[in-house]
Structure 1
Amino acid sequence: DDSLWNIYKIPYHGQCTNPFEVPFQDGGFLSSCEGKEDGNYRFEHDSYYRQQGDYFGVGRQCDAYYRCQRGVASAVKCPNGTVFESVSRSCKPGNHSIELGCQLYCNPNFKMWNGFPNNLAECPYPEQFSDVTHRCENFTKVTCGSRPQVKDYCKYWVQLFMNRHMGNCQAYHFSCAGLPDGFNEHPVKRPGPFYIICLQERVIAEGTCPRDTDWQAQMFPYNGKCTHRFAIPISWFKIGLLPDCSGKADGHYQYPTRPCDVYYKCEGGVATAVKCPPNTNFDTATRVCSVSASCSSAQL
């Protein structure tokens, strides 16, 4: 094998040769310089998956390049501690972006790992790589330019590789694709008390609605916030307990399921949940909360 390139050689012109020095049309990875100006270029062709860990078939785009000079291509390996940098088209120390994706970057200290070829690394979700600071940053602080952005956790390359054998990433990690910024009902664990916080179609937080201590009732995501069941319409996933005011005159009404310490108000066909003050009950005669009112069966 070629110890510098860490790759098995292949037969070419009667001798064992580094495949990156063998033209692509002859079974190697070396691109043609036909029609190209003199200069340095990233390799365009895949490396061997089993030998190079190149699950995504991107080739050696970080630790090597090929040089075109008078139409002749030659392979060049970056010195240790450097990676190929896009602007200068030369090997430089430190971390540098790569056109494959905004969350990906070339890291001279990151060795080959499973699906990634040598020196190709990925930021943790939902971070992206900054061309300014040369490190992974909060995605809101990164200008990606022409680099593609990945917004879903399950579409970051590490997760694609880890779940390549019929993995079920989407069942545990969810997407904010198409959802507005802010509070949203959990797109997978519904109906239920679970919610997510979205920002620019990325999940930045998740949580569970608590119990409402005043109403002593579980809260659920509804209309952009955690809302107790008695303020959610009964038509909503069979979780809500707020009756429909359609066909009812404006006024105050008992809840069929909770006739004493609460009531709902109908106004213009719209129902609103109301909690009686402490130590009072809903009086069906006066239709207000009263200290003297006794609790009776529901009056529809």
Structure 2
Amino acid sequence: MSFLVFSTLLWAGICAVRGSASSVVQGSVVWEFDYMCVQGPYKDDLRPFRYDCRQYYDCHDGYSLTKRLCGPDYVFSKRAGGCVIKGSSEDGCDIQTPSVCPNDIDVVMHSDICSLYYNCSARAQLLWWPDHLQECPFPLLFNADAGTCDHYNNVDCGDREEPTAICDYYVFRCEDKFCAHCNVPDCKGLDDGAHPHPGYPNSNIYITCLDQRITSTDTCDEGMTFDPAQRACVNVQ
């Protein structure tokens, strides 16, 4: 099966969605919706919802990202770690952390990961991601100078992390028990050309690498097997 076809299908979504209900102290949860908790800076953490001080996200147990809504006359306070009375000394609604999007029309690079960027005129690519966060499809990276996804040879990542394996792309990172773990082979440390498939050694399946990135997964013709020494398909003896 073509690797590009496989990656396109996998890109459509790898985590489950589920619903639940609960309550919070100092204000009622009017509704909530659970998604898989993104692994990263928001694990086991609370964070505000940009457009409504009554709403916030609760990433709990390392597994679930819950969108919560404080009750009437309450707002979420990051400092207090929950819902507080609107206008009280703990109400920080008017001093929330500024958005990465200054005017809702810019495209802004992610500060840490070269495949990520923020599209300020769009919603997050995945529902449980921070506002406006997007990711270029493998193997593209975000070109900050051009303001768009581009071939990796045209992108200078600088100090940002440069993912070379498809499983290193943010959309496929999954470390909890609910997600479908990414098991696509990578080409880290491998020369350009054909190599045995790490999951199927001594078989007729092989991968092709370019610039330490996988370009395809292929199968030798019937009656042939992949020879690691020659790095090519040979007749079965």
User: Same fold by TM (over 0.5)?
Assistant: yes
User: Quick one: which of 179, 195, 208 aligns to 2:190?
Assistant: 179
- Mapping 1:140-159, distance limit 5 Å: 140-159=153-172
Q: In the superposition, relative to structure 1, how do residues 182 and 167 fare at CA in structure 2: closer, same or farther (>3 Å)?
A: same
Check the 8 A contact 1:105/1:122 in 2, yes or no.
yes
CA distance in 1 between partners of 2:230 and 2:104 (Å) = 48
Check the 8 A contact 2:104/2:121 in 1, yes or no.
no
**TM-score, normalising length: structure 1:** 0.46
User: Quick one: which of 81, 84, 93 aligns to 1:27?
Assistant: 81
User: Quick one: which of 100, 107, 120 aligns to 1:108?
Assistant: 120
Q: In the superposition, relative to structure 1, how do residues 188 and 127 fare at CA in structure 2: closer, same or farther (>3 Å)?
A: same
Q: Percent of pairs identical after alignment?
A: 23
Name the structure 2 match of 1:98. 110
Deviation at 1:209, TM superposition (A): 2.3
CA distance in 1 between partners of 2:50 and 2:168 (Å) = 33
- Mapping 1:34-53, distance limit 5 Å: none
- Mapping 1:220-235, distance limit 5 Å: 220-229=226-235
**TM-score, normalising length: structure 2:** 0.57
3-state DSSP class of the match of 1:93?
Answer: coil
User: Quick one: which of 180, 203, 214 aligns to 1:167?
Assistant: 180
3-state DSSP class of the match of 1:154?
Answer: helix
Deviation at 1:146, TM superposition (A): 1.0
Q: Which structure is higher in RCO with an 8 Å CA cutoff and minimum separation 6?
A: 2
- Mapping 1:236-251, distance limit 5 Å: 241=237
3-state DSSP class of the match of 2:153?
Answer: helix
Name stretches of at least 5 consecutive residues in structure 1 with no aligned partner. 29-72, 85-89, 212-216, 231-240, 242-300
Give the aligned residue type for 1:103. Answer: S
Give the aligned residue type for 1:180. Answer: D
RMSD: 3.6
Deviations along 1:151-193, one digit per CA (max 9) or x if unpaired, are: 22122221225986152421xx111122222221111122211
Name the structure 2 match of 1:247. none
Check the 8 A contact 1:219/1:227 in 2, yes or no.
yes
Between the two proteins, the alignment pairs up a number of residues equal to 167
Deviation at 1:219, TM superposition (A): 3.9
Match status 1:193 vs 2:204: yes
Check the 8 A contact 1:194/1:221 in 2, yes or no.
no
Check the 8 A contact 2:187/2:209 in 1, yes or no.
yes
Deviation at 1:206, TM superposition (A): 2.2
CA distance in 2 between partners of 1:152 and 1:129 (Å) = 15
Check the 8 A contact 2:142/2:150 in 1, yes or no.
yes
User: Quick one: which of 27, 43, 54 aligns to 1:8?
Assistant: 54
Bigger radius of gyration among the two: 1
Name the structure 2 match of 1:124. 137
Give the aligned residue type for 2:120. Answer: P
Q: In the superposition, relative to structure 1, how do residues 25 and 226 fare at CA in structure 2: closer, same or farther (>3 Å)?
A: same
3-state DSSP class of the match of 1:26?
Answer: coil
Give the aligned residue type for 1:228. Answer: V
Name stretches of at least 5 consecutive residues in structure 2 with no aligned partner. 1-29, 31-47, 57-72, 83-93
Name the structure 1 match of 2:215. 204
